[in-house]
Structure formats: C-alpha cells, structure tokens
Amino acid sequence: MYFVYVLKSIVDESTYLGQTKDLERRLEQHNRGVVASTKSKKPYVLVYYEAYMDRETAVQREQHLKRSRFEKLKLFERIFAAT
C-alpha cells in the first residue's frame, strides 16, 4: 500500500504534500527534522491521506496535485472545510 498525504505545520499552519509507502515512519521523519524541506516548520500533524495499491499511481496522484493548482485547491477545501 502507498499513500499520498498532507501534513500541516503546528508552527505556522503551512502544508506539505507527499507520498510514501510507510505513512507512520514518514510522519516521524518529518517531525524529527530528517526531511530538509520541512524541518524548519516542525512539528507536523497528518491531516489527510489517500491509499493506493501501487507506487506508480500514488506518485501520479502526488504530481497531479502539485502541478494542478485547481486540483490542490479543491482537495484543500475538502480537507479544511471541516476544521
């Protein structure tokens, strides 16, 4: 199983979008400061994830969300409308 996930920084409420095979381990890495692109804004909380059967599909979804501002906006509206 592979995951596309969204994290939210507790420090400044910025978001991070990524994909991984091990969601729990990856969140831990972000919060330990191992990931260079997120270490200055840690800690993070997991606010959303989608599960996929194969890595290729997860990577395609991640890239689609990162490249399409409209799709990312739609997703974030769904995620944060309830909070």
For domain 2-81, the CATH superfamily is GIY-YIG endonuclease (3.40.1440.10)
**What is the pLDDT, as a whole number, of residue 83?**
57
pTM comes to 0.92
**What is the pLDDT, as a whole number, of residue 54?**
97
**What is the pLDDT, as a whole number, of residue 65?**
96
What ranges do the domains of the chain cover? 2-81
Per-residue pLDDT of the chain (83 residues; tens, 9 = 90+): 999 999 999 999 999 999 999 999 999 999 999 999 999 999 999 999 999 999 999 999 999 999 999 999 999 999 988 65
CA angle 68, 8, 57 (to 5 degrees): 45
